[in-house]
């Protein structure tokens, strides 16, 4: 497989995100504000998602599965994992508290995240599953992984900027 080194590098970067999220959670004695908890959770979940997404093609290709079959299997796996994480995270008490505390800002923030990262991410993976552009499947898959890594970086940045911010009354 051609992009093995790149995928392994993305997995390493995502592992750093997971470590930073965990370090921030431990350093602060556990996040107490809903926004902090949501950001930490997002950083860790997205980091782990990217690790799985980046390693899946490397592992699956080791079983002599290649081409469209491998990319479809990886895309279906990571789509299911992504949506499982997304829906689970949205149902947490901290997420609900954040939505109640910052209704307008959170709606704008989530709308931008969905339009910039999640729609293209899902579109790339769906195009792979449908086999619309067979020659571009590795690039589409890599694009989806890179978008998720960037989304995780955005969550890490949000976590850093949320430190010390006062919760609204």
Mean pLDDT of the chain: 80
The per-residue pLDDT for range 65-85, each reduced to its tens digit, is: 889 999 999 999 999 998 998
pTM: 0.78
Residue 38's φ and ψ, nearest 5 degrees, are -65, -45
Please report the pLDDT score of residue 129 as a whole number.
Answer: 97
pLDDT of 131: 95
């Amino acid at each position: 497989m051609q992009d093995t080194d790149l995928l392994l590098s993305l997995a390493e970067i995502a592992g750093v995100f997971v470590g930073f999220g965990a370090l921030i959670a431990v350093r602060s004695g556990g996040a107490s504000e809903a926004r902090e908890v949501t950001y930490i959770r997002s950083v860790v979940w997205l980091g782990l998602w990217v690790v799985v997404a980046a390693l899946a093609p490397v592992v699956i290709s080791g079983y002599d599965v290649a081409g469209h079959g491998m990319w479809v299997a990886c895309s279906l796996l990571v789509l299911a994992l992504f949506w499982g994480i997304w829906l689970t995270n949205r149902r947490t008490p901290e997420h609900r508290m954040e939505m109640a505390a910052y209704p307008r800002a959170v709606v704008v923030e989530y709308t931008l995240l969905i339009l910039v990262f999640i729609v293209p991410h899902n579109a790339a993976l769906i195009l792979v599953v449908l086999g619309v552009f067979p020659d571009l499947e590795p690039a589409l898959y890599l694009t989806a992984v890179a978008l998720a890594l960037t989304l995780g970086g955005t969550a890490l940045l949000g976590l850093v900027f949320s430190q010390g911010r006062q919760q609204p009354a």
